[in-house]
Structure 1
Amino acid sequence: MVFVGRGFKDASKVPPGKKQQPDMEIITRVTGPEIGYVTTPIILVQAALLVLENRDKLPKGGVWTPGVAFGTTDYEQRLQNNGLSFDVISKH
């Protein structure tokens, strides 16, 4: 699966309320086992284990985005250990 992200190298330099075109693009590829019945449970189980094992290290509050909840954890490494691969194809 290929993901294309567009944004800003430094979002703090974009004036609030001013429409501006993104100045950065990244293309990544995620590969692994069959996406529906094999990869989905791997992703969900690893996320659940992280929550259970690191409850004291997670941010306080109710609803978190994945980046906030798992940004400082070893989630990516856990997924790689279970057969997923994350590769940056291009970044400019």
Structure 2
Amino acid sequence: MVYSKISMVGKNPSKYEQEDIYRMPLLLATIYESARLLPTGPMLQTCSLEHDLSLSTGVTIPAGAVLVVPIQLVQTDDTSWGSDASDFNPY
């Protein structure tokens, strides 16, 4: 399906321009969905700000704390993405 969409945009793949990607929304959606389900790394790690950060949930992140985010868990969380969060669905 993606291949047929790419073929419809142009007959000469060596002459594709960067702007052509916007004429191929299914290809772009497939790339984004692949990145969501298969992130390049398992975690993001960063330090918090210079001052304590109070979240609306009542949690306070102390200044200088190391924050670790498990990317794959976040990107397949069914409360954010729906019951089929682990399924590949570029649509």
TM-score by length of 2: 0.27
Kindly indicate which of the two structures has a greater share of residues assigned to strand: 1
Greater relative contact order, per chain length (Cα 8 Å cut-off, separation 6+)? 1
